[in-house]
């Protein structure tokens, strides 16, 4: 069994935000693969289905971003899952728009959703990093991630979520490297290839 966690903030106010691309990705997985309807539990919303005979639980925490780990820990404990069974889909400032990278472990790079998950379940879970680019100035990051994708960005956002959904069975069955390569090939084929630039309290939405 795998737990696929999409990160974002609940409510229509945040629905189109760059910070919510993790929600968008798991929503596409649910639609593409005919998962059961979403239902509320584990301080979030879950949908269940199967990818290449592997049972997968999709989870969208409804705790707001900086408390995401509470929902992840509750679900992981219920299903008795280890860190290696958890895959988190999240926005990544340090990757160009339309680029994807997958990694296991590592720091949170200031992402409060990852910070919370690591605090609750440990650090050695898988991360699917969905590049949204960086506004260029640290002081602009908060407003940038909580702003909607521009109209001109929507084609690559849809293409990236489509590619993730199309190849989700690979990551469900432990083929992370193949998953990453397949997504890159799909994005290149759609004309969205990008050069690599990566590796260079109260509830909060960020």
Element housing 5 (H / E): strand 2-6
The residue among 83, 137, 76, 136 whose CA lies nearest residue 106 is 83
Q: How many CB atoms lie within 10 A of CB 89?
A: 29
The residue among 112, 115, 118, 116 whose CA lies nearest residue 142 is 112
Q: Are strands 126-131 and 86-92 parallel, antiparallel or unpaired?
A: parallel
The DSSP string of 40-107 is: EETTEEEEEEEETTEEEEEEEE-S-GGGHHHHHHHHHHHHT--GGGEEEEEEETTS-TT-EEEEES--
Give the active site residues. 19
- Rounded distance, CA 68 to CA 83, Å? 15
């Amino acid at each position: 069994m795998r737990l696929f966690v999409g990160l974002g903030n609940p409510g229509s106010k945040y629905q189109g935000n760059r910070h919510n691309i993790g929600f968008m990705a798991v929503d596409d997985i649910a639609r593409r693969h005919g998962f059961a309807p979403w239902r509320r539990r584990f301080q979030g919303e879950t949908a269940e289905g199967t990818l290449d005979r592997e049972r997968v639980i999709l989870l969208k925490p409804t705790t707001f971003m900086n408390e995401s780990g509470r929902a992840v820990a509750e679900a992981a404990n219920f299903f008795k899952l280890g860190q290696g069974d958890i895959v988190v889909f999240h926005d990544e400032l340090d990757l160009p728009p339309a680029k994807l990278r997958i990694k296991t472990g590592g720091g949170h790079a200031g992402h409060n959703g990852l910070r919370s998950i690591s605090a609750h379940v440990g650090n050695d879970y898988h991360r699917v990093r969905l590049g949204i680019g960086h506004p260029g100035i640290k002081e602009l990051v908060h407003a940038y991630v909580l702003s909607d994708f521009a109209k001109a960005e929507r084609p690559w956002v849809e293409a990236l979520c489509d590619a993730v959904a199309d190849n989700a069975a690979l990551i469900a069955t432990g083929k992370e490297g193949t998953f990453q390569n397949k997504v890159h090939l799909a994005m290149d084929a759609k004309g969205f290839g990008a050069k690599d630039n990566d590796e260079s309290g109260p509830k909060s939405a960020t």
